[in-house]
A and B are shown apart, each in its own frame.
Chain A
Amino acid sequence: MVSILPLSLKNATVERDGKRLLGPVSLDVQAQGLTIVLGPNGAGKSTLLRLMHGLEKPSAGRVRYAVPRREAFAQQAFVFQTPIMLRRTVLGNLSYPLTTHGISRAEAEKHSLTWLKRLGLAGHESQRASLLSGGERQKLALARALIRKPQLLFLDEPCANLDGAATQDIERLICEARDGGTRILMATHDLGQARRLASDVLFLHNGEVLEDSPAESFFEAPQTDAAKAFLKGDLVL
């Protein structure tokens, strides 16, 4: 399979109603690792992930994958902060990405059932997905994103509002995906989570990427005052 990476952003900006939300951003996402996107509220973390994933169009600059756009988008997935559930059963939600990509329903359901066991949701297959708990819904959303083995996975604060046990389950799935070769970009507020998972860090403030460095050097020796203040837990305005 041809790799869709590196992903390259050149002076990409996102503006809405005349207001700049992000950029200009120039960076390259290489094929390996787990990048944590850090920054205070309104820094542009979600906008950056949405821009890379094609949910936002750049107002200026460009976003380019190693392969044509259509092929690149077929090999990536996105998990939203608030999981979006189809009005279907748990099994219906999980098998949806498979059936829409040419896999027979029987085969898709068989494969989905093995995933449900892995998620600890066996026995819930006929239940409405919307009736699951917040943690279970987010696990299902993550599994739905991973079930087609994407090369690139975007996670937009997937553990926001989850308790410790649910966060641990989500992090286990994320680590398994990373170890399986999926490139991950994840936005989070949680510094502890960032320290546990990151191989490198993008630090954003006011729509600009202030730091793009390996995790160790970011946490040991941040280069900007805003990053230092953020790591100390100070208010970053």
Chain B
Amino acid sequence: MLEIWLGIKAAFWLVVTLDADLIEIAARSLLVTLSAVAIAAAIALPLGAWLAVGRYRFRRLVIAVLNALMGLPPVVVGLVVYLMLSRSGPFGVMGLLFTPWAMIIAQVIILTPLIASIAHQSIRDLWAEYHDLLISLNTSRGQRIKTLLWDSRRALLTAALAGFGRGIGEVGAIMIVGGNIDHATRVMTTAIALETSKGDFALAIGLGFVLVGLALTVSILIHMLSGTEVRDRW
């Protein structure tokens, strides 16, 4: 109980005094996660729409694999990305290991199946509603996908936010590929893991509160900016 109280106190002071380290770590967390969400969404949303609209062989298998990949263990992703980016790996020459880029790559791999799977379910429902109309209006497949993406944008925002929620709290993969290097790749989650291993629970809990606050603030901001749940809008 004392640790929690001290954690609240620590979080309060970290925020009130605008602690330089905290600001740097929080900014890096946001940069890495928002970049990963943007890249993953750019891949996953059209993929989800394409899976909903397309009729081809192995479609069900692809969807089943995609759903299974939602539960991809981050540590395994981290390990694979580490091997790919390490000096002896195929992309070692790019020198990305232990940089925020490596962390973004790992998060994109984790988030893409999650966002694609949620997006696919939403778009599939809308496609069932629009199917006859869009065929009747003689639209091309590209136009159908564009229409479905636009008209289900609120649900897709939720998919992206689910990705953000998973990304901002991710620790296993980014610890492996980022290395938790101070002033280089340290983010909120890896900092919490470090403080916990050092036994500084108060600071770890403080950082935890800040992390939760950060995640909630971003989600609420995105909802407000996009006008979700506003009357007379979709």
The interface of chain A, by Cβ under 8 A from chain B, is 53-55, 73-74, 77-78, 80, 84, 86-88, 96-97, 100-101, 127-128, 131
Note all chain A residues with C-beta closer than 8 A to B133: 80, 84, 86
The one of A73, A88, A100 that contacts B151, using a Cβ cutoff of 8 Å: A88
Given A86-B130, A86-B147: A53 and B232 within 8 A (CB)?
no
B147 CB, nearest partner CB in chain A, Å: 7
Note all chain B residues with C-beta closer than 8 A to A87: 126, 151-152, 234
In the complex, the answer to whether A54 meets B129 with C-beta atoms within 8 Å is no
The one of B130, B135, B151, B152 that contacts A54, using a Cβ cutoff of 8 Å: B135
C-alpha gap A180/B218 in the complex (Å):
55
B17 at the interface (CB under 8 A from A): no
In the complex, the answer to whether B129 meets A100 with C-beta atoms within 8 Å is no
Given A80-B132, A86-B130, A86-B133: A100 and B139 within 8 A (CB)?
yes
Q: Annotate B47-70 by CB proximity to A: 1 below 8 A, 0 otherwise.
A: 000000000000000000000000
Note all chain B residues with C-beta closer than 8 A to A127: 232
20 contacts between A and B (CB under 8 A): A53-B136, A55-B132, A73-B138, A77-B136, A78-B132, A80-B133, A84-B129, A84-B132, A84-B133, A86-B133, A86-B151, A88-B151, A96-B147, A97-B137, A100-B139, A100-B147, A101-B138, A128-B232, A128-B234, A131-B232
B8 CB, nearest partner CB in chain A, Å: 44
Q: Annotate B113-151 by CB proximity to A: 1 below 8 A, 0 otherwise.
A: 000000000000010011011011111000100010001
Size class of the B contact interface (CB-based, 8 Å)? 10 to 19
Question: Which chain A residue has the least Cβ–Cβ distance from B136?
Answer: A78
B138 CB, nearest partner CB in chain A, Å: 5
Note all chain B residues with C-beta closer than 8 A to A100: 137, 139, 143, 147
Note all chain B residues with C-beta closer than 8 A to A97: 137
B229 CB, nearest partner CB in chain A, Å: 14
B54 CB, nearest partner CB in chain A, Å: 18
A80 CB, nearest partner CB in chain B, Å: 7
In the complex, the answer to whether B147 meets A55 with C-beta atoms within 8 Å is no
Question: Which chain B residue has the least Cβ–Cβ distance from A126?
Answer: B232
C-alpha gap A9/B33 in the complex (Å):
58
Question: Which chain A residue has the least Cβ–Cβ distance from B233?
Answer: A128
Question: Which chain B residue has the least Cβ–Cβ distance from A78?
Answer: B136
In the complex, the answer to whether A55 meets B137 with C-beta atoms within 8 Å is no
Q: Annotate B66-82 by CB proximity to A: 1 below 8 A, 0 otherwise.
A: 00000000000000000
A197 CB, nearest partner CB in chain B, Å: 21
B141 CB, nearest partner CB in chain A, Å: 12
A93 CB, nearest partner CB in chain B, Å: 10
B49 CB, nearest partner CB in chain A, Å: 15
Note all chain A residues with C-beta closer than 8 A to B135: 54-55
Select the residue from A78, A84, A87 with max chain B CB neighbours within 10 A. Answer: A87
B13 CB, nearest partner CB in chain A, Å: 47
A22 CB, nearest partner CB in chain B, Å: 17
7 smallest CB-CB distances across A and B, nearest first, come from A84-B133, A78-B136, A87-B151, A87-B234, A100-B143, A73-B138, A74-B138
The one of A74, A78, A84 that contacts B130, using a Cβ cutoff of 8 Å: A84
C-alpha gap A97/B137 in the complex (Å):
6
C-alpha gap A128/B132 in the complex (Å):
21
The one of A55, A86, A101, A128 that contacts B136, using a Cβ cutoff of 8 Å: A55
C-alpha gap A80/B135 in the complex (Å):
13
C-alpha gap A112/B137 in the complex (Å):
16
Note all chain A residues with C-beta closer than 8 A to B232: 127-128, 131
C-alpha gap A22/B17 in the complex (Å):
77
A108 CB, nearest partner CB in chain B, Å: 13
Q: Given A84-B129, A100-B147, list of 9 further CB < 8 A pairs? A: A77-B136, A78-B136, A80-B133, A86-B130, A86-B133, A87-B152, A88-B151, A96-B147, A128-B234
Note all chain B residues with C-beta closer than 8 A to A53: 136
C-alpha gap A100/B152 in the complex (Å):
18
Note all chain B residues with C-beta closer than 8 A to A131: 232
A184 CB, nearest partner CB in chain B, Å: 15
Note all chain A residues with C-beta closer than 8 A to B130: 84, 86
C-alpha gap A97/B136 in the complex (Å):
10
Note all chain A residues with C-beta closer than 8 A to B137: 77, 96-97, 100
C-alpha gap A88/B137 in the complex (Å):
16
Question: Which chain A residue has the least Cβ–Cβ distance from B129?
Answer: A84
